[in-house]
Amino acid sequence: MNNREIGRQGEQLAQNFLEQHDYIILEKNFCCRYGEIDLIAQVNNYLSFIEVKFCSDQSFMPLEYKIDKFKQEKIKRTAQYYLKFRNVPFDFRFDVVLINEEEAKPEIKLIQNAFWTKERV
C-alpha cells in the first residue's frame, strides 16, 4: 500500500469517527491553489476544517510537531479561499484528528480548536 492509499484509508477512519460524534461531512480533500484540506464538516454551529494525521509510534506526538506553523498557514489560506466562495452562516474552527496506527485497533484522538486565526474573509 502506498502513502496515498494509506492516507485515504486514514481519512476514511477519521470520517467514520467524526460522523459518530455528530459531524456532518461536507467535503473531502478540498483542493485549491493554496493547498488541501482533508475534511470539511459541520458540527453544531461550526464549520470545521479538519486535518488528519497518522502517528507511527505508541504515543501521540505534540500537535506542534504534527502540524507546524507552515502547514497551519496553508490550511488557513485554503479555508479562507473556501469561505470566500461559500455563504457560511456560522463560525469556523480548525480541528485535527490524530490516528495511532500501531495498535491492532487504531486509536483516534480528536483535537478541537487545534489552532485558530483572527482573519475572516
- Domains of the chain, residue spans: 3-115
**What is the spatial distance between Cα 94 and Cα 101, in angstroms, rounded to a whole number?**
22
- Residue percentage of the chain with pLDDT more than 90: 58
Average predicted confidence (pLDDT) for the chain:
87
Single out the residue of 83, 6, 2 nearest to residue 37, CA to CA. Answer: 83
pLDDT at 100 over 70: yes
Say which residues have a Cβ less than 8 Å from residue 26's Cβ, sequence separation at least 6: 40, 41, 42, 47
- Give the model confidence (pLDDT) of 44-74 as tens digits: 999 999 999 887 665 556 655 678 889 999 9
pLDDT at 23 over 60: yes
Output the CA angle 103-69-45, nearest 5 degrees. 75
**Interior/surface letters 92-119, b for 16+ CB within 10 angstroms, e for the rest:** bbbbbbbbbbeeeebebebbeebbeeee
pTM for this predicted structure: 0.87
For residues 87-112, give the mean pLDDT: 87
Say which residues have a Cβ less than 8 Å from residue 33's Cβ, sequence separation at least 6: 81
- Say what the pLDDT of residue 19 is: 98
For residues 92-116, give the mean pLDDT: 87
Q: Which grid coordinates belong to 32?
A: 485549491
* CATH number for the domain whose boundaries are 3-115: 3.40.1350.10
